[in-house]
Amino acid sequence: RSFSSQPQSGQKRRSSFGIAFDIDGVILRGKDPIGGSPQALRRLYGDSGNLNVPFLFLTNGGGIPESRRASELSELLGVKILPSQVLQGHSPFKSFMERYENQLIVATGKGEPAVVMSEYGFKKVVSLDEYASCFENIDPLAQYKKWTTKQGLDRSSHPLNTVPRYDVSSETVKAVFVVSDPVDWGRDIQILCDVLRCGGLPGQENGHQPQPPLYFAADDLEYQAAFPSKRLGMGAFRIALESVFNRIHYNPLEYVCFGKPNPFVFKNAEAMLKQLQPSYYSDIFKEPGDSGLPSFKTLYMIGDNPSVDVKGAQQAGHPWFSILTRTGVFRGKHNHAEFPADLVIDTVEEAVDYILGREC
Ligand code: G3P
Ligand code: MG
């Protein structure tokens, strides 16, 4: 079916809609496109290559700046994705910039967590790799880690390397950000316990120090990667850290998790989708007296994880409509019992087909 959402003259006001795509288990498995995702996305563009339907990626993954993820996705999927169409688990960390702009913060996870935070504007961010290197013997198992590489230790060539390479071991860490899935769980649990139970100064146990704030980019227990069965995600790491911390410290671990299903993330996605609406929506569909961009009648969340994607869309309420695919975490024949989606369908391509059929 050919699709055009260009309004015709005399046509009634058409409901506006947008789409948020989960990535892992819906669009990609590892680096491979799945479920007809390139074809599905192509249908959202007009013949001239302009975006006909506002859409973005709403993923709990991350570890590289949104601009770089947009280029990677464009390459893998064969359509031009803008940085403003990529919302990652750590994207809400931007909102903490004013609070911690010039304060020492630690960032951990796969990829380049400190570069991600530097791009958001944080001036004094160190990766846990760099931070660990300032403390002799902080990881007693380091000598056995034959796989340890220099990767992530040297940001000196990055234009946003604003952190002076000086010893931060005597400076209080003001907050910890788990930006992406931690690579070395053992070391990270050890050092985060040190930082968090010593008021931000490892090795200095002097009385009761308040725990520095701890922020996770997501809380997925499991997710679908390239391996056939589900993999442990950031939520599994959080449970491991919390279990150990609560056994060795008098106060339970305090933390905040972003990513789906946090309603903040869906509000943010809605605001971003409004910015992506083709201009004729705002010019033609605006009611007399309307200021700003028109609201959506329906926003579709296409995900593979009932307790993350579907639960998030349900909690966010109107105008969200959840679609669950069978290409990732969820493989059930019928709907999920605890978090039933508005629609269960095999693939993302079928989901887009359904949406366009319903809307146009
Ligand atoms: O690490 C990524 C994983 O937590 C989920 O990604 O795209 O399924 O939200 P996504
Ligand atoms: Mg997913």
Q: How many angstroms does the Cα of residue 91 sit away from the middle of ligand 2?
A: 17
Q: What is the pLDDT of residues 133-191, one digit of tens each?
A: 999 999 999 999 976 555 544 455 555 554 556 679 999 999 999 999 999 999 999 99
Report whether the peptide linkage leading into residue 278 is cis, meaning its omega lies within 30 degrees of zero.
no
What average pLDDT does range 15-27 have in this prediction?
93
Are 176 and 29 contained in the same domain? no
Q: Which of 24, 90, 108 is the pocket-test mutation for ligand 1 (most atoms within 8 Å of CB)? A: 24
CATH code where residue 228 lies? 3.40.50.1000
> Ligand 1 mean position to 259 CA, how many Å?
9
Indicate if ligand 1 lies below 6 Å from the C-beta of 25. yes
Q: Do 129 and 230 reside in the same domain of the chain?
A: yes
Atom 8, ligand 1: which residue's CA is nearest?
A: 24
Say if CB 345 and CB 354 are below 8 A apart.
yes
- 117 with 84, same domain? no
Q: Are residues 51 and 104 in the same domain?
A: no
Count of CA atoms in the C-beta half-sphere (13 A) of 286: 14
Return the best residue to mutate from 21, 22, 232 for the ligand 1 pocket (most ligand atoms within 8 A of CB): 22
Report yes or no on 176 lying in a domain: yes
Supply the pLDDT for residue 292. Answer: 64
Residues 232 and 108 in one domain: yes
ipTM of the complex: 0.98
255 has a pLDDT exceeding 50: yes
Q: How many domains does the chain have?
A: 2
Report the distance separating Cα 103 and Cα 178, nearest Å.
Answer: 17
Does 158 share its domain with 272?
A: no
Domain that holds residue 289: 1-89+260-294+308-319+356-360
Instruction: For residues 100 and 234, state if they share a domain.
Output: yes
